[in-house]
Amino acid sequence: MGRDDTEPNATAPPDSATSAGAATHGSRGSTPAVVAARSGDETPDTAEIRALADVAGYAVVGEVTQRRREDPTYGLGRGAAEDLMRLVAETDAAAVLYDGSLSPGQTFSLGDLLPTGTAVIDRPRLALSLFSAAADSGVADRQLELARLRYELPRIEEAAARDSNERVSLRPEGDPRVRDIERRIEAAERALDRITADRAKRRSERRSAGLDIVALAGYTNAGKSTLASRLADDGHDGRGDNDTAEPSADGARPFETLSTTTRRATLDGRQAVVTDTVGFLDGLPHDAIRSFRATLDAVRRADCALLAVDASDDADAIRRKVRTSLSAIEATDGPVLPVFTKADRVEADALAAAMDTYRSVVAELDRQETPVAAALRSPVAVSARDGTGLAGLRSAVADALPTATAAVTVSNGGETQAALSWAYDRGVVASVEYAGETVAIELGGRPAVVAEGRRRLARADGRSP
């Protein structure tokens, strides 16, 4: 579609465009910026990019939106790009925040068109900067470094090509800036390989100790961190947490959780560890998502993963966020249990409609492109604020965990008691009944641990396992 579908719109500063609560983070920076957005089939919704801009310290002073196919030169059509140029000049904006991904060529072309010195920041760059600002561990820093380097490499290549006006060679004799980025990517990949291997070893040790592994995933601000806290043995009631309190104008305080956080939990008698992971965000390129493998593996390799879905979102947001989350997860070793959080914020019919929307998204998924779809269980609704549905969630998780049972009757003696103590330590003893010189024991829990407990009891009784 042509220029008539462009919608330039200069707005007031953020304190009058959004509520005071929404501008809490943004007020620290107040760098003026104009939002640009394009969609092929509908007028773009800029609410989320504005919220992200606010968190990043930008004051959105205007926007240009367009409904048309992508333009290979600017992303936006030429007419919309020129409207953007004029709006940036009129508002004296320091940056353009593009709600989508721009190729290196589009980024440079748009920058050449805009007033000198205007920064062009697409959604992936903005998201990575927000993640970087909130990084709170060495592992998070490593993953973010790799994501940034993978994002920057093609842009450095484009810059080098423009400087030399010829194709950049990626061989060792190529541009030194490109070689430097490639070396740093290789170093970051090696470091993350070591971290991933160490975490895999830790998961194995926990499973050998009888602990089930549960991980939470979901779109940013879906309420999963509060849910993880409620499930944990040392958790609290959730009151006072932002993602269960009254929503702010932008409805979000994203990027609060960047590192995985693991806590002990008891789920219907099963001893487990619950790991909270980083929230997903729409618009990150595949290379950036791959950089978070160490975090994503916590979800992919869990015995059961919980996918947090915000029940208070509208249908379009649920569709977009569920697709984004499942696309990032890709596949899991165990089942995935969808959990509709913040159920206290919606009426019963609205909750049912939200679940119907979720089911329609899942029904449309290509099982080959998104294999995790085959692992999805029936959804559960909870409220971490008032505790509604938490007991049912714990039972659903316990039912989804790998389970084996065994019944053994052995002579009662010192070696049997030692074997029984081992089984108790790993939480697999369901019942014990003493009868004279024998003891009847029922085991239940992780299959490998139950099998080992049965072997130890048989050996204690002088029998072959």
pLDDT tens readout for residues 85-144: 999 999 999 999 999 999 999 999 999 999 999 999 999 999 988 887 767 678 888 888
Return the pLDDT at 137: 76
Alpha carbons 428 and 450: distance in angstroms, whole number: 7
Tens of each residue's pLDDT in the chain, 465 residues: 434 444 444 433 333 222 222 333 334 448 999 999 999 888 899 999 999 999 899 999 999 999 999 999 999 999 999 999 999 999 999 999 999 999 999 999 999 999 999 999 999 999 988 887 767 678 888 888 999 999 999 888 888 887 765 544 444 346 788 889 999 999 999 999 999 999 999 999 999 999 999 999 999 889 998 999 999 998 654 444 443 333 333 344 444 455 678 999 999 989 999 999 878 888 887 888 888 888 899 999 999 999 999 999 999 999 999 999 999 999 999 999 999 999 999 999 999 999 999 999 999 998 888 999 999 999 999 998 889 999 999 999 999 999 999 999 999 999 999 999 999 999 899 999 999 899 999 999 999 999 999 999 999 887 755
Report pLDDT digits (tens) over 184-221.
999 999 999 999 999 999 999 999 999 999 999 999 88
Return the pLDDT at 252: 44
Return the pLDDT at 32: 95
Report pLDDT digits (tens) over 415-443.
999 999 999 999 899 999 999 899 999 99
Return the pLDDT at 2: 39
To the question of pTM greater than 0.75 for the whole model, the response is yes
Cα 281–chain centre separation = 7
Q: Is residue 294 within 8 Å of residue 271, measured between CB atoms?
A: no
Return the pLDDT at 235: 67
Alpha carbons 386 and 407: distance in angstroms, whole number: 40
Return the pLDDT at 236: 56
